[in-house]
Amino acid sequence: MPAQQPTSERILLITGRLAEGLARQVAQRLSSQFSIEIKVVGISVAALMHVEWLRRKLTIDGKYDRVVVPGWCQGELDELTSHYQIPFERGPKELLDLPEYLTGKQREPVELNAYDIEILAEINHAPRLSLAEILAQSKQYRKSGADLIDLGCIPGETWQEIAHAVAMLRDEGFRISVDSFDQQEVAQAVTAGAELVLSCNQSNVGWLKELPVESVVIPDQTNDLASFHETIEELSEANRTYRLDPILEPIGFQFAASLGRYYEVRRRYPDTPMMMGIGNLTEMTEVDSAGANVLLAAICQELTIHSVLTTEVINWARSSVQEFDLARKLVKHAIDHKTLPKHVDSQLVMLRDRKVTELGDEGLRQLAAQLKDPNYRIFVERGEIHVMNRDGYWHGSEPFELFDQFSQDAKLDASHAFYLGYELSKAMTALALRKQYRQDQALQWGFLTIPEVSAHERRRQPKSENQS
């Protein structure tokens, strides 16, 4: 098979002094597909590059179809396009991502807005909370993606203030369900505006079918579908609306069999709304809840179970509502488009990263040999933390030992020592989890990522902005 000929498109790649070696390596790898020339400008770190500075310093000899500047470059590129009469574009922040960028194999952003699974977020032991606490928790649930707020009552007690709680939440624009078998509680909640009651079985169908409200039908015992069908029949005869929940059991308590009941109920009632209480898995399985929420969302989507009940009681499930909100959109996209839920959205990739890029041993050594300033560069690759500046190159897996080595003869002030300690702490976390570490950037934790202002950006900002 003949070698692929370079494209007629000529690309000028702008880079700084320290990245020159890596830029030439990457350009060489792409030489069969693109005609790429490297322009090294008089700056060491790409993060310091700015449009105004480039317009003053950059000279372009030759004709190019486009100019690619580092993704870190600040400012409006239209100014450069107008000045040089060549299209300028901002490439990736990492040179190692350039092949994906130029070949068009980067993931196109996907709008994940569509979903048809409703989230009921339960406030556990609501009678034990003040109205202010209930409102605050409801607002947080709504912000996380909840569609209904479920007020979880306490068996054996009657919540005298339930009508006030429902009315308050309704005034704030919330839709409300009530989780109770107490007739007085349920009647007051329905009168105040609750639209759904959890739950209904043979123990309470006699009075619940008299109330003008939708209910969730459950079996008297989890494996007793006979009582389940009887309750459905009674509600149907009373012309009441309902949704079906045959009860998801925890792992160790016939979990697989309970999943089978959902399949059986959907087969028998193909057009009846269904619900799944997913907290029995997320709350009762000691594992980060995001993965479980995606699998449960997929099961619900495939079985057209259009509502779930969840909560955020135990610490490993503290973000379950938002996790399921993201999961329901992801799985709907996958099923609607008959595609894998992969390379679509990374917000639920939290513990590890979507991918990790590395300079490699040779790339690190070449970079270390070029350094002419005392500033420390930190990398995490191949099971070690790598630290380098003009005075040396140190690497190892123990950050305290590394710090002792490279700081032995260095005169570090308190702020610099703090900065290095902070970055080494992030680097150690990345090392332990095999995450992507990039100096001066936040580690990526999916939708839980807390953005950081880099040291370079902080130096550019007025002091008052840094302190705000």
Mean pLDDT, 10 residues at a time, the chain of 468 residues: 56 88 85 89 77 89 90 88 92 85 73 94 96 97 97 94 97 97 97 97 97 97 92 96 97 95 96 97 96 97 97 95 97 91 90 88 88 91 94 94 89 90 95 93 92 72 50
SS3 351: coil
Give the CA distances from residue 114 to residues 1, 276, 310, 328, 329, in Å, rounded to whole numbers and listed in that order.
45, 20, 20, 9, 6
162-171 and 183-192 helices, crossing angle to 10°: 20
149: CB partners within 8 A, 6+ apart: 120, 121, 123, 138, 141, 142, 169, 174, 175, 176, 177
Identify the pLDDT of residue 442. 93
Q: Tell me how far CA of residue 86 lies from CA of 41, 78, 297, 386, in angstroms.
A: 18, 10, 48, 39
**How far, in Å, CA of 15 to CA of 40, rounded?**
5
What is the predicted pLDDT for the residue at 181? 97
CA distance 174 to 163: 14
Q: 324 near 295, Cβ under 8 Å? A: no
Peptide bond into 180 cis (omega under 30): no
Cα diameter, the chain: 87
| pLDDT of 1 | 38
Rounded to whole angstroms, the Cα distance separating 24 from 36 reads 9
pTM for the whole structure = 0.81
d(CA 28, CA 22) in angstroms, rounded, equals 10
Could you tell me which residues are beta bridge partners of residue 377?
Answer: 388
